[in-house]
Amino acid sequence: MVFWVFGYGSLVWNPGFEFDEKIVGYIKDYRRVFDLACIDHRGTPESPARTCTLEEKEGAICWGAVYCVRGGPEKEKLAMQYLERRECEYDQKTLVNFYKEGETEPTLTGVIVFTSTPDKVNNKYYLGPAPLEDMARQIATSFGPCGNNRDYLFLLEKAMHDIGHEDDYVIELANDVRKVLGMGKALPKDKKLVGAPSQLQHSPHVPIPTLQLHPLPEPIALDS
């Protein structure tokens, strides 16, 4: 017995469950977008965070990591129960093909990926797209039991660098969040290496009186 699950958000750097194998690679015809509300991990019902989901787009690829769980029904059940609690804002499990770099044929088929219905009427967690500046302000100020929304974004930016496949959209959004936070001049788009959130310091010369910034609490495994 075995199942594979593809991670493209916090699962890339913090899977949080027992797995037997991890492979870096990509899926086709999907792209990463920050269109999903998170109200119990990095945000609250009153101030939802923005976390990433997948949007179908022909010809796009989305890099991430796939995890294998093998060892029998009980182990698989425990892993899936954990993932369903953690990914509770995602209302779909989609089966996709997974590719390793340089391969033209799928490395794996029938890989599970958590996705969300892009419908504000039938999916209460779907926020939809917004101007980048608006998303940056929302991400800069939202926080929840798992920590600050901005750190989720910065950690994703770093995780994609660490696996060797930066996401230009993530970088652009992270740079706009830095501008909101007054972290000085935004990083140029071609300078993709970023530090961990703890290394990013607010400039003392740029006041930001309208923002309420909250410290990151002690980390816990559950995230979105």
Question: Could you count the other beta carbons within 10 Å of the beta carbon of residue 151?
Answer: 19
8 contacts 113 by C-beta, under 8 angstroms: yes
Q: Is 103 helix (H, G, I), strand (E, B) or coil?
A: coil
Cα Rg of the chain (Å, integer): 17
Catalytic site positions: 87
User: Minimal CA–CA distance to 37: which of 173, 131, 133, 144?
Assistant: 144
Strands (E), 87-171: 92-98, 108-115, 143-144, 147-148
Phi, psi angles (nearest 5°) of residue 179 = -65, -40
